[in-house]
Structure 1
């Protein structure tokens, strides 16, 4: 079972339906106490970094999410859900994120229409379980005004470009994030979610749950 976190900042049903299309069952979670019963977790998100972190804190999700990610269980952040995996967001001032990956979330430089909205290609920087079976330079759907800047290039799995090259898919160990929306990205977006679901299956099998 894959859990989808409901903190009032994500397209929950779209993610749930996309997972179902790949053959994986999901449950929308409104209470951190439900975390032990899911084998993998998705943190979706739309909107502002500060608002998302405030909602996660108010609803008691921050510490349980950090502990869950550090337990080794598969964890995927989508769009804003990817951005809050990092240490700091610079939208409307500096705000702490979950701190699971190194880096900060910064605004696109002037010169392009903001937000970056629509289809764009992603270049794979390195092999990763999440991109198995997906060709280089595949197209994915983006909607965002800020992007991740990280000092650790080893976490960057895929990169896209919109006036500046930016991380489109990140990953370290059991933690991944997509700046694009896989649930809105047709065939290859569904493949991302399928690959994540298979990692959840493998993790649950190895843990004996």
Structure 2
């Protein structure tokens, strides 16, 4: 089972929805993300939010679909997306795909990226997707990177502290046992030289970003 969460970020930043897995997927709308989904002809299985980003006519149109709602007050200690993610990780899905989390207000975007930590804590992979990027976090270990035409550029950033013992094999710019400090741009915009490569590290949390121009 996969859970696809669509938050309220700008619709023009959405990836192509046709690439999403349909079978065994649960669609979740968060705040204005519910409206975005319905406009695309997708009725979410669940809707989360205070819906303060919708005007009265949009709310009335949305309510005609009689969606299962998790509705909250606008004044609260967690964002609508955090509440939706807490529900999603508790379901223990195979994977969570998060759309509409980037491209809007910077404070929301940065907070949403930090919410990826929830996936590591609950051992549920969470991936943020937009029209240009894929963002995810990694715990120490060894991973395979596959050459994908839609994502030619691969970047690695320390997330909440330094990353130790970082190595890259099969990349245009290989590394061995490198220390990655916060604020370093050493591992921005690398590329695979073959169909696949590997990256590994021994300590820290790594942010893995796949991008295209």
Whether TM-score is above 0.5 comes out as no
User: What TM-score bracket applies, with the shorter chain setting the length?
Assistant: 0.3 to 0.5
- The TM-score, its normalising length taken from structure 1, stands at 0.37
Higher helix proportion (structure 1 or 2): 1
The structure that has the greater radius of gyration is 2
